Structure 1
Amino acid sequence: MLHSIFMLIVDAVASILAGVMLLRFWVQVVRVRPPQSVGQFVFQLSDWLVKPLRRIMPGSSYDWASLIGAFLIIVLSIIAAVGIESGFDFRTIILLSLVRFFQWIFYGFMATLIIEAIFSWVNPHAPLAPFVRALNEPLLRPLRRVMPLIGGVDLSPLVVLILLQIAVRLVSTLLLSLA
C-alpha cells in the first residue's frame, strides 16, 4: 500500500518535470516563443537540471540538455519503481526508461492535439491557442498537404492521433522485445 502511494507520487512528479523538459525542447525545435506565463513556468521548473547539464554538454542548435534531463528524470523514476521491487538490473532499467520516454513524447503530442481541438471548439482566440497551434503545426502540416477538408472539417488531427497511438504501441513492443 505505501509502495503504491510512493510510486504514485514519484510518477506524478516525474511526469510533470519530464513533460516540462520535453516541452522546453519542443518549443525550441519548433522555434515558437511561449506566452510569458508558460515560459516562466517551464524555465523555473526545469532550470535546476537544464543549466548544469548545459555546462557539461556543448551548445548546439537544439536544447539537448532539456531532452537529456527529461530522460534522466525518467530513469530515476524507473529506478524508484524497478529498483525497489526487483533489484538493480541496468539493462532492464534503460529499456523501461526508453519505453516510458517515447510514450511520454507521443502522449505529449496527443495532449497538445487534444488541447488544440478543444480550443477550436470552445475559444479559438484564446491567448494560448496560437502557441498550441504552433506546437502542433509540424505534426499536422504533412497530412494537411495530402488530406482535403471533408465538409469543411479538418480531420488531420484525428489521423495524427491514430498514428501516434500506433507509434506508441510499435515502439513499446519493439523496445520491450529487446528485453
Structure 2
Amino acid sequence: MLNNAILFLIQAVLGLLSFAFLLRFYFQLTKAPFQNQIAQLIVTVTNFAVKPVRRFLPSIGKVDLSTLLLAYLTQIILSTCTLWLKGFPILVAGSTVWFVIVGVALIGILNISLSIFLYAVLIQAILSWINPHTPIAPVLNSLTYPILNILRKYIPPAGNFDLSPLVFIITAQLLLTTILIPLESNLLSTL
C-alpha cells in the first residue's frame, strides 16, 4: 500500500514536471507571449532546472534544447522509478531494460506533447464560443496556430465553422489510442 502511494506521488510530481518542461519548450518554440499568469507560472516552476542546464546546453535558434532534455530526463526517471516500485529488478535485469526505459520515456514525451496540443485546441475551441477575449487566448492561439494553419489549408470551413480543430482532436486521439499507447504496452511487455 505504501508503494502505491509513493508510486502515485512520483507519477504525479514527475508527470507534472515533464508537462511543465514541455509546455515551456512549446511556448518558446511557437513564440507564445509570456506576459500572462500561466506562462509566468510555467517559467517559475521550471527555472530551478532550466537555468543551470542552459549554461551547458544553449538554445539552437528557436529550439530550447535544455527544456526538451529536462523533459526527457524527467520521463526516464519516471519510467525507472515506476518499474522499480512495481518490483522489477532493474539493477540486475541487464542492458535490455535500459533500451526499454529510453523507448518508454520517448513515447511519454510524444504522448505529453500530443496531449498538450490536443487540450490546447480543445480549450481554444470552447473558449472561442464562450469568451474569445480571455487573457489565455493569445497563448492558446500562438500554441495551436502552426498545427491548425496546416489543416486549414486542406479543410475548408463549413459555413462559418472552422472544422480544423475537430479534425485535429480526432486525429490526435486516434494517434494516441492506436499507435502510442499500444507501442508503449508492447515495449513494456518485452521485460
- TM-score, structure 1 normalization: 0.91
2:150 to 142, 145, 159: 142
Match of 2:66 in 1: 65
Query: Hey, what's the Cα distance between the residues in 1 that align with 2:138 and 2:58?
Result: 32
Identity of paired residues, percent? 29
Deviation at 1:167, TM superposition (A): 2.5
Deviation at 1:153, TM superposition (A): 1.1
Query: Hey, what's the Cα distance between the residues in 2 that align with 1:120 and 1:54?
Result: 36
Query: Hey, what's the Cα distance between the residues in 2 that align with 1:174 and 1:81?
Result: 17
- 3-state secondary structure, aligned to 1:59: coil
Is the CA contact 1:35–1:128 (under 8 Å) kept in the aligned structure 2? no
Query: Hey, what's the Cα distance between the residues in 2 that align with 1:137 and 1:59?
Result: 22
Distance 1:59 1:110, change over 3 A: closer
Match of 2:125 in 1: 117
Is the CA contact 1:95–1:176 (under 8 Å) kept in the aligned structure 2? no
Which string of whole-angstrom CA distances, capped at 9 and with x for unpartnered residues, describes residues 119-178 of structure 1?
A: 112111111112111110011001111211113211111111122123323244456556
Q: What one-letter code is carried by the residue in structure 2 that aligns with 1:3?
A: N
Is the CA contact 2:121–2:169 (under 8 Å) kept in the aligned structure 1? yes
Query: Hey, what's the Cα distance between the residues in 1 that align with 2:64 and 2:103?
Result: 23
Number of residues of Structure 1 aligned to a counterpart in Structure 2: 179
Matched, 1:23 2:18: no
Match of 1:100 in 2: 108
Is the CA contact 2:58–2:65 (under 8 Å) kept in the aligned structure 1? no
1:170 to 174, 179, 183: 179
Deviation at 1:32, TM superposition (A): 2.0
Match of 2:94 in 1: none
Query: Hey, what's the Cα distance between the residues in 1 that align with 2:132 and 2:59?
Result: 37
Is the CA contact 2:32–2:138 (under 8 Å) kept in the aligned structure 1? no
Gaps spanning 5+ residues in structure 1: where? none
Is the CA contact 1:98–1:175 (under 8 Å) kept in the aligned structure 2? no
Is the CA contact 2:10–2:78 (under 8 Å) kept in the aligned structure 1? yes
Q: What one-letter code is carried by the residue in structure 2 that aligns with 1:151?
A: G
Query: Hey, what's the Cα distance between the residues in 1 that align with 2:101 and 2:84?
Result: 8
Query: Hey, what's the Cα distance between the residues in 2 that align with 1:164 and 1:172?
Result: 12
Is the CA contact 1:32–1:134 (under 8 Å) kept in the aligned structure 2? yes
Match of 1:156 in 2: 164
Which string of whole-angstrom CA distances, capped at 9 and with x for unpartnered residues, describes residues 24-79 of structure 1?
A: 11111111222332232111111111112212213321111001111111111111
- TM-score, structure 2 normalization: 0.85
Query: Hey, what's the Cα distance between the residues in 2 that align with 1:86 and 1:52?
Result: 33
